[in-house]
Structure 1
Amino acid sequence: MRLNIALVLLMLGTPLVATAERTERPQDYAVTVPLTLSGEGPWYRMQLPMAAQLAARHADFRDLRLFNGEGERLAYSLIPGAERFAESQQRADLRLFPLHGPAGRRDAVPTLRVQRGDDGSIIELAEPAATAELLRGWLLDASATDFSLQRLYLEWQAESEGFQRFSIEASDDLDHWRPVGEGQVARLSFNGERIDKSEVELPTIRARYLRLLWLAPEQAANLSAASVSGTRSTAEPAALIWSAALQGQADEQGVIWTMPMALPLERVRIDIEQANSLAPVVLQGRRDSKAPWVPLANSVLYRLPGDGHELVQDQIELPSWPVSQLRLQVDSRGVGLGSSEPRMHLAMRATELLFLVRGSPPYQLALGREDAQAGSLPVTTLVPGFDAQRLVGMGQAVIAGQIAQAEVAPASTTAEPRFDWKRAGLWAVLLVGVGVLVLMALSVLRASRGRS
């Protein structure tokens, strides 16, 4: 009986020890900065600056956390190098071609002979010689559009007022047509009032051609013009985030810059302080201080006069390989970059941070913990039904103040690991408890043998 009770206590106590070990507080992190929120929540987004990247202990931000005013952790997601989506409203005029067919045959689709240009636009549309005179519909050439079609505008005339109902089909090759739905325009007047409906909603489609076939009345209205409107969506790469100027250290082979960790840099900028400077340079990099140097780029940096203004080339593009050290070698045949040691700015693609607000402010961003485990959720878990367009409507978060710039120095490979007294104490409690249970179990076993 005692053994069963002891086992139950052990099972209940072990989760408590594990829970205590996972508890995190803002004080456990080297850097904490307050956040300012604006816009509509409860989800907020922010672009993490380069200062945050340099303050973190891990390049993948596994040591990033968010806390509310009560010290509770907030759920978040990270989207590295997230593309930015932009939308713009577009409108385009369409070319019109009448379609004729036999009277009394609503199911008969007009046949066509079409000649198209190299870009797919219609040059000529000829009707068969034996067609009837009844106007059955219209073919609209939308091959010049490069956006999704959402609304159709018609300028039309008919023999009498009333409703004009027609089917809408779409095609990309004039041979295969897919139904889009039905449209209706109307023109009504009574007692000095007038209703004129000439717009038709489309179900957001991409198509080179539209075909309108009249359902009621049988004869189509005369169209004098047609146009479509829609939305053009463009995806742009994530913005580059830049660091503050970093001072390098000169040696006999060049100037070396050391980052706290290996980062996938895409561009660097060198401060050229002196006018009339020109320097062919070679930029090398390596993942850590023990790896060999690898050439990253050859370039010519300059600050020269030209055509009434100054010409400056101070940036070098990189292949996005993770590097923790950069070395700049200046060709002595140039005039150099000045008397002082050059300073460098680092750039990489921004990481988007999304988080769910709960509790009261102030909200804090925490960074800098060596033994932290990844805490980011998949974005589809954090935001059910997520798609990239939802980013546009989310609230914004910004860092209030500045993140202290990390001291850019190589990590020591000989430093002794810090002893975690908190974790050691928890394990000691667990081991003592196990020992007590073992002693109790042995006591019970001896007592049972004595009775037998």
Structure 2
Amino acid sequence: MKRLLRLTGGCLALAALWTSAPAAAADAFAQRFALELEDGAAFYSVTLSASVYEASRRSDLGDLRVFNGAGEAVPYSLDAPREPARTPPVLRQVRWFPLPPAAANGNGPPPGVAISTDGSLRATSAPPPRAQHDVDLIDAGRAAQAGRVGALVVHLRDDNYQGRVRVEASDDLHHWRPAGDAQLLKVNYNGSTLSQNRIELDAVHVRYLRLHWLDGAPYVDSIDAEVLAAGVDAARRADTQREWRKGLVAQASVKPGEYFFSTGRPYPVDRLVIGLPQPNTVTQAVVYSRAGLNAPWREVAHATLFRLHNGDVEQSNAALELKPDTDRQWRIVVDTRNGGVGVGALTVAAGWHPATLTFAAQGSAPFTLAVGSATTTSAAVSRDALLKDASSVAATARLGDALHAAQQAGATPVAGDPAVSRRYLLWAALALAVGSLGVFAWWRARVLQTRPGEVAGGVPGGAGTVGTTADNAGTAGADADGPSEKGPRDEKG
């Protein structure tokens, strides 16, 4: 009987231990998303949204699974996007011709410029005075013949200039179309020069370009055209596909010039845009990151931060380029020798390229993506192993909305999932404990029923209460120490 009691206690202790585990153990995944597919494909690929990263508990998305309609896990691969190779652009110097404002509204070669039979331009008069100059006409020439022009680099002679420029493109000097716009900057600050001299274009393949200076024309030393190199288009597409988390605020610490912020989730951040609180501020900054509160800080970037205001024109530093970094804790240290950033908090936007999930459409729909488990580890395979051969092509799937709690509760249990095994073992332990308690109750009732017949010579009549107590005591002694002769000797005495 002692063994039975020990077994019952052990089962109850095991059940109590498991029932005290977090709710996530019963349902291993914190969030599930619907996967919307087109029928017929064997494999599908989907780009993971920010919501998936927000639900994940692992920096490598190892707590991610894909399930079919029967609750079975299906094979999948998880691929982080590769940064496209960026070949340095080829710079070709171009010729430009300052024009008066009236020349920008006409068709054909403007006054003071003639066109040759090969399409090249040449000046026929002196350029207008600067006060009357707000348009430059560019002959791309050989640069246009070499390929598409992706940008213009304007080398300014002015030590201090800040202004807007609008670009138009034409093949015949008669028909013009928008090709881009930018804000140019050149400022000397504490012995260093802040410069933004690049005008991004819409990858035009044209002969002529026209610059409209909206805030006054600068003195220009030279202009180069960037001819697009291999891989530039892929890099541009990758930049447009980047996800952003905006509105992060870096709080100042008690130490001057030190600011902290957290991304909150394991985003693979490769771009940071840091905004200064006050205009007309320039400062040097160093950016650090770390995985957790107890991890050491790592230096990840060093940059000049600025925010300059000139009339209607305001310019800020470009985004910092980083290697993909999944750290959640970030620290910015700015140089306070020239006043730091002034009053206010730094604002931060974090950008990253989302990973691509590819999975096999095994079993029946609907398919769901589950993420956010404290115990699940990665089960991803390589994309090559998943697709098996080069002829396999993955169709595009769409990541739907997050499923509500009621929808997740009605999901089919997952075969082979650790949470399901845990539930089965828990019920078995509870059943064994209840059965043990039942056997113990049956045995106790039987003992109580047979015990009155074991008493030798009951005490009749009016000694009922006292006699019963004595009988129980005698029986207990017999149970504990075997047959006793003490009772009969006491009666004779």
TM-score range relative to shorter protein: 0.3 to 0.5
Larger-Rg structure: 2
TM-score, length of structure 1 as denominator length: 0.45
* Bigger helix share: 2
